[in-house]
Structure 1
Amino acid sequence: MHGGRSTEGVRDRAPHFFLSYAPVPSPVGDVDAARPEADKDVREFYADLSRAVAGASGPFPSSSVGYLGAADRAGPETARALHRCRTFVPLITRRYFTDVYCGRQWYAYTHRAPRGPLIPALWTPVPTTSRPVPVDLGLPVPERPVTPVRVDEAAQVRYAKGGLYGLRQNYDHPEYYDQCVRRIAQCVVQAVRRAPEPTPDETEFTDLDTVPDAFAASSWHPLGIAVLAPDVHHLPPDRSDTKYGREPRDWQPFSDGYATPLAERTAELARNLGFATEIHTYDEAEPVFLGEREARSPWVLILDPWILHDRTALDRLRAFDARDLPWVTVLTPLADDPQTRNAREELAALLRSALPRRLSSGRAIQRGAAAGIESSEAFNSRFTELADSAAQQYLNRPLRSSPRPPASVKRPPAAPGGPVAPAPDAADPQGDQEAQP
């Protein structure tokens, strides 16, 4: 049964699963006759999952195992399948959360009564900031006492990194894809056996055009941007003032033709990634970093190593480094002026003294970003990856009953180099890897 047109069983039986996905947009202009059918891999996955569910269903009827929500996406057959399906399997891609009909299918299923379980299947990687609703992208696991279908650890790692589409391209280990498909099918079958078959509702809608988009009203993810840098009135001895302005947030280390300060450009890049940002000085953000105020968002700290010539600033950064804050990413741009190039070893020594934990632990990309970034292009690339990583760490952080810091953590007195203000937290308000033919 492919799409809304093959629905003979839907009229009489409730499909075991409804596979919801975002189709590849139709090509514009002439189409090469040899071009593979759009969404061919998705349709093959649907067929594989249908066979696996039918094989694991035992005595359950398999005449209407699944329904593929593709053709006639807003029509009555699709609406009927959404009302009567036993489980909802969204095939997750970045495009999925921008497709209006995927949003409507999600809304229709999650707002019906009774509602069966959602069993997300990851097709291609999706950054945290592209997920407007909470969704677990790990490989599904059946509930106890069912023993999960065995999936090799390497298969689970590849599933997390590349999704089912990536597994389909792994010709050296085709069993990885098969294992994951059978695991998803196992979860579908368990849910079908536990959930009662939905009964038709006389008030059910007949098409999806009048159903709200579950993803349309989502808010952006907050992100705090803190800047620790001198201003023109508080520079280290003999430091050139060409890179600085009246406030720390005016700092622009790169001579790449842009007059906009780096912090503002970072905020613009963050908005393109789906973040709602606010820029703060380090003085404003420090109470959050030291646990004196509750963290309400992930953070990015942009650090100019020249400020570490000030002993007070050095001590304050050491206090920050002593705390385990995986939801704070440190980026250290190295200015492209001759004075900074000549002082590389000295600045590197100051960074090692200020950030010993950050520079000796964590992922290589995190250590490298904290040790020094030499160009605006490299900065943009590091920020894109690490901001999303900080967001994931923030969402997964353990919640504490008290935001107060341990008694051993003391905040050094404020150093010159910018205005001191009350410490608010951040505001509360990439290319698509569909890899389809």
Structure 2
Amino acid sequence: MRYTTITHRTVSGEARVYDDPGGWDEDTARPYFFLSYAHTPRAGTRGAGDPNHWVSKLYEDLCEAVLQLTDLPEGAPVGFMDQSMHQGTLWAKRLSQELATCRVFVPLYSPRYFNSLACGQEWYSFTQRPVYPERSTSERTSGIVPVLWVAMGNYQLPEVASQLQFNHSSFGPDYAAEGLYALMKLSYFRASYELAVHRLAKRIVDVAEETVIPVGRPLDFQSQPSAFKALAPTKQLRISVFSYRQSELPQERNPDYYGPRRIDWHPYQPQSARPLAEHAMRLAKQLGFHPSIHEFDQEVEEILSNREPAAPGLVLLDRWALRDEERREMVARFDRSNPPWVSVLEPWNTSDADCVEHDQPLFELSAKTLKSKRREAKPSFQEDAAGLATLEDFEDALPRAAMRAKYAFEDRSRSGQVRSGAPKPSLREAFGGEPGPWRPGTGRGEPGGQEAARYEDGPQSGAGPGGGEE
């Protein structure tokens, strides 16, 4: 089982890792800042490094700089960041606790950030706490110190971000033009990076000392809306599972890989006992989707209908379930229809003794049933026809499959507009027309409260906890 990695950097330099949400002692020092960032998914190539390495490096440098500017006592937390994307109760409670206690919220601006449901939930949760100036003569601030992780150019910010009064040029011209990621990666900008980190740390300390943001009541993180509703469209991904309930299994199949619901299928045990659909949901959220989980049997008639599809889809197919003749015919009908906006992934655990024993006949059964889906896969998206043997294989394949479905769904929508006589949208229109130069606004909230955007109901899932970044 995987556990959540939650890191505090303390004055002594110790990285404290928590697997238990615990509580917050009122006598315990609060972290100066909460670093909020969009988790970048791992590249599909095997052996690729951690794409979030540079965020972790920034976090370490920022903690050191804040420490030099303060008189924090031994053992006091300097900062906080979530270094995992794992779901579950412990993860959500710890994140909620930190958002209710941190002194400053530091979001790393990037297009991925503003398309992340989890980042929008973090922003929203923090802004539910009231903020007061330290002195009556002080100018009130929001308690948010934004950072340009990448250069944003004319990117249209959501309302809650554009309202912040913040001058990024004060961190240096190279930072404002390139963003911190470029300054870190290129040795040419080393001095500019050190200047930007120093000024960012000073700004964090100044905001912490100039404002009073009381400890809040921890919220149910996974049920919170996103603060970015005004900008990000709802990008659904309907994840459907074709598998067995434990009660439906053939006699020779090991029940350890199944649960009371078909969506409980977890083929990669003992590597992971979490339902595969929850892994898929976590990865989909990293890609900016608002995913939901369903049984394939309940989805197939809608997919095969003549109605316009509501969203791209992803089918997680258990080859063992193809042995049910009636249900296999349902999959064959789906394959003959071959909706391009629905991708199929076939996990096949080669560490599972049953799968090893029945590998050839079930592979042939799958190939016979999924003729069209196998044939139509483009080379750049081609999955291993033998199946996804490990959880890592599955995690590498899912982003490609989800994006393939998304592109096909968008192509269908565009072609439908052209057929109906509507003009074909231009690239410029797709990105919001002709926006002017980006200038942070001067919007203010009511005294004693922080700005928060209105957001309608979030994604729904039929399979336990959701949430999580990215």
TM-score normalized by the length of structure 1? 0.44
Going by fraction, where is helix more abundant, 1 or 2? 2
